[in-house]
Amino acid sequence: MKKLLFALQLFFLGSIITWSQVSVGPKLSLSFSNVIGGENSVGNKFKVGFSAGAFLKFQISDHVYLQPEVVYSTRGFKYVSSVGNQDTNLKHTLSYIDFPFLIGIQIGENGFINFGPQIGYLVNDKIKGVVTNSSSSLNLNSSNVYGYNVTEYALAFGGGYRFPFNLMVAVHGVYGLTKLYSNGGDLSHNFTFGLSVAYSLGEKRRKQRTRH
What string of H, E and C letters represents the secondary structure of 75-106?
A: EEEEEEEEECCEEEEEEEEEEEEEEEEEEEEE
Q: Which residues pair with 105 in a beta bridge?
A: 64, 113
**pLDDT at res. 129:** 85
- pLDDT band of residue 143 (cuts 50, 70, 90) is confident
pLDDT for 152 beyond 70: yes
Alpha helix positions (H), the chain: 2-16
pLDDT for 4 beyond 80: no
43 or 64, greater pLDDT = 64
- pLDDT band of residue 209 (cuts 50, 70, 90) is very low
**pLDDT at res. 46:** 92
pLDDT for 210 beyond 50: no
59 or 5, greater pLDDT = 59
**Angstrom distance (rounded) from CA 114 to CA 186:** 30
Assess contact for 56 and 21: CB atoms under 8 A.
no
- pLDDT band of residue 136 (cuts 50, 70, 90) is confident
Q: Is pTM, for the whole model, over 0.85?
A: no
Torsion angle in degrees (nearest 10) through CA of 74, 98, 38, 82 = -10
